[in-house]
Amino acid sequence: MKATRNISLLAVIALIAMLFATACGADRTSQGPARLAVATGGTAGVYFPLGGAFANIINEKVSDVTANAESTGASVENVNLLNNGDVDFATIQNDISYYAFTGTEMFSDVAAMTNLRGVATLYPEVVQIITLANSNIRSVEDLRGRRVAVGAPGSGVEANARQVLTAHGIGYNDIRADYLSFAEAADALKDGNVEAAFLTAGTPTAAVTDLATTHSVRIVPIASAMAERLIADFPFYNQVRIPAGTYRNQAEDVETVAVMAMLTVREGLEEEMVYNITKALFENLDMLAAAHSRGGDVVLETATDGMSLDLHPGAARYYSEMGL
């Protein structure tokens, strides 16, 4: 009887150990490769094709690892999936990663997600302030007293709008703020119900392109001095230019700022695995470029620009070897 009890106890211990191993980290078994989940975004966006290409790089170029890309609601959902251990990698805007890591903005009511780590920044998500060309709004300062669409409540766009306005000494009490998505804001611009709208996205942005086919639009610049002030407070921003011709009748480059789409990983993934995956990513950038035009923006030289998280040790080791 005692021997039977001992065998049963050992069986229970073995079962608990197996369940713990499955719950922690990538799904690795002695019979096959580790299986990784990659959170991306909606199927109509940029994150989904780039995340799919990243998964393909892992599947084709990294030994003993397989990956599957999953369509999600993008950045805010992705940080929660990553924090909960439901996925291993995720595409997330660098400002959203920062808010999650520090427990600020839309994450102020939850515990800081300190298990997030950076792998690489990918391409700029440009802060665009759109008005109609027949308006007299030509600078951010001209938004005072105007009706401005600042993004959906609690969104990354709304945080960007508030930060940009604050850098210019403008608060929400100085404007008439409407909490609208850009799809809603575009209709409001057409109807004259708002005079300007904030948007954060890769350029050219389809919604702006569509608006510009029926209405002449102007992109309001964020001057370099103000961009520097913003970056001093929020270092996840970068200064960028929207090239002339990005939108119909856009005759000149426009100065603005951007956050960065970035590849993020959970802290507990093995260093050697993340090193091998980071190395494979930058040795096969053509696969990203083939998946979406934004993939062509991903280059090793800017892989840590705007990085808002501590690098995962595996990624840090690769960059050190490459002289970054």
Which SS3 state, helix, strand or coil, does residue 87 take?
coil
Q: What band does 11 get if pLDDT is binned at 50, 70 and 90?
A: very low
**What pLDDT is recorded for position 26?**
59
Distances, alpha carbon 127 to alpha carbons 135, 253, 263, in Å: 20, 14, 20
Average pLDDT of the segment spanning 40-58: 91
Chain segment 170-209, per-residue pLDDT in tens: 999 999 999 998 889 989 999 999 999 999 988 888 889 9
Q: What are the structural domains of the chain? A: 2-123+262-321 (3.40.190.10), 125-260 (3.40.190.10)
Q: What is the distance between the alpha carbons of residues 297 and 242, in angstroms, rounded to a whole number?
A: 14
Average pLDDT of the segment spanning 120-131: 96
CB-CB contact of 112 with 77 (8 Å):
no
Phi and psi dihedrals of 174, rounded to 5?
-95, -10
154 or 145: which carries more pLDDT confidence?
145
Q: Does the CA dihedral 171-175-180-184 come out positive or negative?
A: negative
Chain segment 92-105, per-residue pLDDT in tens: 999 999 999 999 98
Indicate the average pLDDT of the chain: 90
